[in-house]
Amino acid sequence: MDKSHMPTAFTSHHHWYSSILDSLNSPNPTSLEEYKSTSSFVYTYNHVLHGFSASLSPEEYETLRKSPGFVSAYVDRNATLDTTHTPEFLSLNPSTGLWPASNYGEDVIIGVIDSGVWPESESFKDDGMNTKVPAKWKGICQAGEGFNSSMCNSKLIGVRYFNNDIIAANPGINLRMNSARDTVGHGTHTASTAAGNYVSDASYFGYGKGTARGIAPRARVAVYKVNWDEGRYASDVLAGIDQAIADGVDVISISLGFDGVPLYEDPIAIASFAAMEKDVVVSTSAGNAGPLPRTLHNGIPWVLTAAAGTIDRSFAGSLTLGDDQIIPGWTLFPANAIIKSSPLVYNKSISACNSSELLYEVLDGVVICEPVGSIYDQIDHISTSNVAGAILISNDTKLFELGEVPCPCLVISPEDAAAVIKYAEASPIPLATITFRKTKISTKPAPAVAYYSSRGPSPSYPGVLKPDIMAPGSLVLAAWIPYESTAQIGPNVYLSSDYNLISGTSMSCPHVSGVVALLKGAHPKWSAAAIRSAVITSANPLDNSLNPIRDNGKKYQLASPLAMGAGHIDPNRALDPGLIYDATPKDYINLLCSMKLNKTQLLAIIRSDSYDCSNPSSDLNYPSFIALYNQTRMPGEVLVQKFQRTVTNVGDEVATYKATVNAPKGSAVRVSPNTLVFKRKYEMQSYTLTIKSRSWDKKPDISYGELVWVQEKGKHVVRSPIVVSPNIPHGNVAL
């Protein structure tokens, strides 16, 4: 709604909306059907948009459209969820860098928009926390079913839950848990990843055992439950973000998204614009629809969009053969089991391991399964057989990234398999011993882009390079809800655990949220755009073997920025980025104006018709570059695209930076000027980057490079990825 149309007779916009809805209703319903069709409020929104959500009949909607002040209306939508060692992997150190500089994120408030929280988890105890909650906090600990207000503390400072729309959409529904208590596990996991307290001896059935803690272990947590077992709706998500802004959070972490919607209909885009205006940083997940391009959601210019990567940790077991050969392997079988000196069986008739009936012929032996068909099918057949165990031969990255091994199985590489098969065929009595529950760290190479991580360009606005950054996402260990299955042995045995290993960009998002909270603690006056810039320009494009990051979804080829953004997040370098690319709300409005949106669409995001579209510009001051061309370009046609950028010196008082360019293949890149001289801190300098690329054939191709500003005689290196890409239709062309 356009609030400027509110009659003076109303004391608040809520009363105005109520009056409008009352006018739609029949004053004296004469039938049950007419009574059921009566329009009713779901939510009134105060911050993320000016308007409300309500249950309306088609006729009532048509009448509402004619009301004074009506701007636009959208049908509610369903949201998509995106699902101990990572602080070390990110080089967070108690002695130097971002942890001590931010005092571990003390008093920064992270609002987690998710499926609620399990308050009894050790990750949310307040041991060591400053008992005085920040004065800016305006939230509450909302009581509900199985959740009383005393369950909040100095760590978990507030909870709220929002289910008005799921109830309105499903009259008579009986919610499994009508409170902020988490019955899914997803919200507990993400909240503890971002800011969980220290918990010793945490593990997943013995794997990854150690001290669990969040990225910002002294930050405060506020949880807003919008995801329910029974579904998740846009109106509830909007209400949660609206309330988080009102409550005074500093960071919003939201590991869900809405697919296939334009910015002006995307609840997260609309709500995060209001958050950005208040310098609340919104960290979001890219989605799990990779590896095809243009599949990400949350490709929103004013948020941080996180891709997912692997971690330098592997869960292992070992195979010892009867001749004392020891073969390393991968497993997550959730038991402290030992298969000792069991017969090792290699039989061509059953080696496909795709028949439970044939596997029943192996009595208490360890069967070798050749890489035939789906490894998941093999695991299912082994789980329902009576074999003692199995050796699976595979390099399937999906299995290594997702886990879940319900059988006593060990996965070995095809290279190691040759020696095992040779021994099994040559030995008169081949024997095998398998041990489980081993954890290896500092494995190489890591990180790699997770195969499932959604890729850019952004369908909602491809003119800004998305995703922004990559963070740990595969097999992340964090808090979980008890009494729910987290692992399985065979077809009938289900196990629970207080900590769980799960994978997804839902897991990478709270890592970024935690880093953002630390940066907020260290630089409380930085804008949301400045913090995003610091995260992007300090990212590491190399893995721990000092080679370019690879892409598991592209057969280990070099990873494109459309898969990993600027690279892997590097918290300590983000603390002191040297230069930042800042942006104001006006800059985003100019961007929206350049999109040729109509007045209704602009109002949906900006919430006011006082905006000025006299200076539209699609060239946002963003710390990355993407040049898009039409796929129908003729051979030899030249694309020329110019980008104007302004950087602010937040490093040394006096500094000189020189530009180094690695141009995308087939393109020429010019930077003018190529030297920036700063005489004082917070001084701003501008430059122009021009990309010229020639189309040699009609086949769509993607190339990428980088612009690096290197400080002379200084420590700062400020890197921005460059992409030249066709404007790819959804799901077309592998990256």
In order of start, what are the domains of the chain with their CATH numbers?
3-65 (no CATH), 80-311+448-575 (3.40.50.200), 313-440 (3.50.30.30), 584-617 (no CATH), 620-726 (2.60.40.2310)
Q: Are 718 and 647 in contact (CB under 8 A)?
A: yes
Cα→Cα distances 397→375, 400, 701, Å: 11, 5, 26
Report the pLDDT value the prediction gives residue 731, as an integer from 0 to 100.
Answer: 40
Give CA–CA dist 328/420, Å, rounded: 11
Q: What is the reported pTM?
A: 0.89
Sequence-separated (6 or more) residues with CB below 8 Å from residue 229: 175, 176, 177, 183, 184
Give CA–CA dist 313/663, Å, rounded: 34
Report the pLDDT value the prediction gives residue 34, as an integer from 0 to 100.
Answer: 45
Q: Are 613 and 649 in contact (CB under 8 A)?
A: no
Give CA–CA dist 617/615, Å, rounded: 6
Report the pLDDT value the prediction gives residue 43, as an integer from 0 to 100.
Answer: 78
Q: Are 243 and 159 in contact (CB under 8 A)?
A: no
- Has 513 been annotated as catalytic? no
Report the pLDDT value the prediction gives residue 39, as an integer from 0 to 100.
Answer: 58
> How far out from the chain centre does Cα 310 lie?
13
Q: Are 82 and 107 in contact (CB under 8 A)?
A: no
Report the pLDDT value the prediction gives residue 82, as an integer from 0 to 100.
Answer: 44
Of residues 238, 240, 276, 244, the one with CA closest to residue 258: 238
Of residues 303, 290, 117, the one with CA closest to residue 193: 117
- The residue type found at 727 is N
Count CB-CB contacts under 10 A for residue 665. 11
- Has 114 been annotated as catalytic? yes
Count CB-CB contacts under 10 A for residue 482. 13
Which of helix, strand or coil describes residue 423?
helix
- For 43-75, write each residue's pLDDT tens digit: 778 777 778 888 888 888 888 888 888 888 888
Query: Which entry of 506, 513, 693, 720 is annotated as an active-site residue?
Result: 506
Query: Which entry of 13, 47, 50, 186 is annotated as an active-site residue?
Result: 186
Share of the chain above pLDDT 70, in %: 94
Give CA–CA dist 370/387, Å, rounded: 16
Cα→Cα distances 666→281, 701, 705, Å: 37, 10, 11
Place of tokens 């290279």: 415
- The residue type found at 368 is I
Query: What are the phi and psi torsion angles at 632 (to 5°)?
Result: -90, 10
- Show the CA angle centred on residue 568, arms to residues 565 and 573, nearest 5°: 115
Query: Which entry of 82, 114, 551, 576 is annotated as an active-site residue?
Result: 114
- For 547-602, write each residue's pLDDT tens digit: 999 999 999 999 999 999 999 999 999 999 999 999 999 999 999 999 989 989 99
- Has 396 been annotated as catalytic? no
Of residues 412, 545, 96, 467, the one with CA closest to residue 294: 467
Of residues 573, 499, 540, 575, the one with CA closest to residue 193: 499
| Burial zone of 156 (CB within 10 Å; 0-12 exposed, 13-18 middle, 19+ buried) | buried
* Series of mean pLDDT values for 10-residue runs along the chain (735 residues): 82 80 63 47 75 84 85 74 77 94 96 97 95 94 96 97 89 91 96 96 93 96 95 90 96 94 93 94 96 94 98 94 94 91 90 85 86 91 90 90 91 95 94 94 94 95 96 96 91 93 96 98 96 98 96 94 98 97 96 92 87 90 92 72 97 94 94 97 97 70 93 94 77 36
Query: What are the phi and psi torsion angles at 416 (to 5°)?
Result: -75, -25
Beta bridge partners of 628: 725
Count CB-CB contacts under 10 A for residue 676. 22
